[in-house]
Amino acid sequence: MLAAGAEVGKYLIKGFLGNGHFGHVYHVLDRALSVERALKVLKISDPTKLVELLEAQIQYKCRHANCVTVNGADIHILNNEPHVCIDMELISGGSLESLISKEFLSVKNSCRIINEVSYGIEHAHNQGVLHKDIKPGNIMLSDNTGKVSDFGISQYVGVGGVGSGFAYTTHQPPEFFTSGVITAQSDVFSLGITLYRCANNIEDWRSAVSTCSNPEVLLAKGKLLQSMGWQPWVPAKLQKIVSKACFAEPARRFKSIKDFRQALDKLHWNLDWVRIDQYSWQASGSAVHLARLTGKDWNTFEYLVNNRRRIAECQTFGTAEDAQRHLWNFVASSTLA
């Protein structure tokens, strides 16, 4: 790793941002232009082939408002060894994975971000590129807008082509495990898994997968989501769309990222609920909606709009469990129109 204050050509290292698949990403200052960038540094495995430059070439080919921009690439000698250094736009908002770990992500906001990212993935597919690594950690937020990042294992196959090789396995469909095949529909599947993670606010995906019985078998059969289930606040209509994106059989899956996005576009939103704590949810817009449990035993459901109780919706249940179930169902049923 490079320490803050180190120099790489015209770049001054300001800090460490994170790890990619095969290198490190740094916050740097481009002293020639006096602008801040992200610099990905990759150790070169074979100087005669320079395959590490493919990442920069592919990401540059996929220039789009919803893809992290590559400004350039060069080769620098660091610690007496050649490294590929990829100059990229600096994204201040962090990753979608980081956002989920910090705060509750509403169902509506989850769909908005995935919708935005889908344009970048669709553009990559139109350039003949398969991403192969779609996940919350590779979606960056720039002014709260989703952008696809990390094309480190992406593959140029031509429009409609078939890829193979390494991929982020827990997001891949059955055909990857049975025949090693990766297509544009594999990215559809991966984006569906990503939306599932966001809508359910799964902070630790690795741990969640490991709690399933025989996760390797579930992955190979495309049954992971069915085994894990859904949080009760996620509307059934969205569950149906994500399930179609993640069908085990490619013929039953959305044929393209565009088809997936258009299905999301048809959802009509009513209330953008955010979980405040275990017992209360809030949706703000033209009015402030509050759904909560109260009482000594947390078995009374209250619904308020602009601090006025809606008596018709308020009721008391025999148990806190029944009240909690009603709260979740109320949120799920009122999220979509």
Domains for the chain: give ranges and CATH numbers: 7-89 (3.30.200.20), 96-265 (1.10.510.10), 274-335 (no CATH)
Edge-to-edge strands, sheet with 7-8: 7-8, 11-19, 23-30, 35-43, 81-89, 70-78
Q: What is the pLDDT along the chain (337 residues), one digit of tens a residue?
A: 899 999 999 999 999 998 866 789 999 999 999 999 999 999 998 877 788 898 899 999 999 999 999 999 999 999 899 999 999 999 989 999 999 999 999 999 999 999 999 999 999 999 999 999 999 999 999 998 999 999 989 999 999 999 988 888 899 999 999 999 999 999 999 999 999 999 999 999 999 999 999 999 999 999 999 999 999 999 999 999 999 999 999 999 999 999 999 999 999 999 999 999 999 999 998 999 999 999 999 999 999 999 999 999 999 999 999 999 999 999 999 999 9
Q: Give me the count of residues in the chain.
A: 337
Helix (H, G, I), strand (E, B) or coil at 140: strand
Taking alpha carbons only, the member of 109, 110, 103, 290 closest to residue 196 is 110
Token code pair at residue 19: 């790890």
- pTM for the model stands at 0.94
